A and B are shown apart, each in its own frame.
Chain A
Amino acid sequence: MPADADEFLCASNTGLGWAFGTSRTGALHRKNNHPCEDAFALWSGSAGAEPCIAIAVADGHGDPRHDQSRTGSAIAVQSAVEELVSFHRMHLHDTPRNIIRSEFRADFPRRVSRRWRESVTEDAIRRELAGTGSKETTSCILTRYGSTLIAASILADTILIGQIGDGDILLVRPDGTVETPIPGDSSLVGSETRSLSSRDAHLLWRTATLDRGEGGVLIAATDGVSDSFDGSEGPEFMKFIQSLVARIGQYGVETVAEAMSSWLDRYSELASGDDMTLIFVLVRPQAPASGIHQPVLQEKPSSQWSSNLCH
Chain B
Amino acid sequence: MPLILGQRVRAETSGLELEVIKKLGEGTQGEVYLVEGPDGYRAVKWYKPDQATAEQRSAILYLVHTGPPFGAAGKRFIWPRDLVTRQGSTQFGYLMSRIDTRRFAELGECWAHIKPVPNFSALCEISYQLANSYRALHLSGHCYRDISAGNLMFDPLSGDILICDNDNVGVNRQSCSQVWGTMEYMAPEIIRGEKDPSTQTDLHSLAVLLFYLWVWHHPFHGEMEYRFHCWDIQAKKKVYGESPVFVFDPVTTANALPTDPDYITARERWEYCPPAIRETFIRAFTDGLNDPDRRVTEGEWQTLFSRMKDSIMTCPHCRAENFSDTGGDSVRCWNCRKPLSPPPVIAIRRQGGETRLSLSLGTTIRRRHITSSSLQEDGSEIIGTIVPHPAIAGAAGIRNNSRAVWKCSFPDGSTTEVPPGRAVPLNPGTELRVDGVLLTITAPQD
Chain A contact residues, CB within 8 Å of chain B: 86, 90-91, 95, 97-99, 101-103, 106-107, 110-111, 113-114, 117, 135, 138-139, 142, 185, 187, 194, 199-200, 202-206, 209-211
Contacts and interface: CB of A to CB of B under 8 A. Distances in A.
Secondary structure at the A interface, as helix, strand, loop or mixed, is: helix
A90 B230 CA distance: 8
B261 A102 contact: no
**Residue of A117, A200, A205 with most chain B CB atoms under a 10 A cut-off:** A200
A103 B233 CA distance: 10
B264 A199 contact: yes
A102 B150 contact: yes
B112 A106 contact: no
A265 B55 CA distance: 57
B261 A142 contact: yes
Contact of A139 (B50, B113, B150, B261): B261
A204 B113 contact: yes
B261 A203 contact: no
Given A95-B233, A203-B265, 7 more contacts: A97-B50, A110-B262, A117-B262, A203-B112, A205-B112, A206-B114, A210-B26
Contacts of B108: 206
Contacts of A199: 261, 264-265
A110 B184 CA distance: 14
Given A102-B182, A203-B265, A111 B231 contact: yes
Interface of B: 26, 28-29, 50-51, 108, 111-114, 150, 179-180, 182-184, 216, 230-233, 259-262, 264-265
A283 B256 CA distance: 44
Nearest to A158: B28
A114 B180 contact: no
Contact of A106 (B26, B184, B233): B184
Contacts of B184: 106
A210 B183 CA distance: 21
B111 A200 contact: yes
A208 B432 CA distance: 54
B262 A204 contact: no
Contacts of A98: 28-29, 51, 179
B165 to A, nearest CB: 11
Contacts of A209: 26, 28
B144 to A, nearest CB: 16
A288 B353 CA distance: 65
A97 B27 CA distance: 11
A255 B231 CA distance: 41
Contacts of A211: 26
Nearest to B183: A103
Contacts of B265: 199-200, 203
B284 to A, nearest CB: 21
Given A98-B29, A102-B182, A203 B230 contact: no
10 closest Cβ pairs, A-B complex = A98-B28, A203-B111, A90-B232, A101-B28, A204-B112, A200-B265, A102-B182, A206-B112, A102-B28, A202-B262
Contacts of B260: 114, 117
Contacts of A142: 261
B261 A135 contact: yes
A229 B264 CA distance: 39
Nearest to A102: B182
Contacts of B261: 117, 135, 138-139, 142, 199
A90 B233 contact: yes
Contact of B231 (A90, A113, A185): A90
Contacts of A117: 260-262
A103 B185 CA distance: 12
A172 to B, nearest CB: 16
16 contacts: A90-B230, A97-B28, A98-B28, A103-B182, A111-B231, A114-B260, A135-B259, A185-B114, A187-B114, A194-B112, A199-B264, A200-B216, A203-B265, A204-B111, A210-B26, A211-B26
Contacts of A202: 262
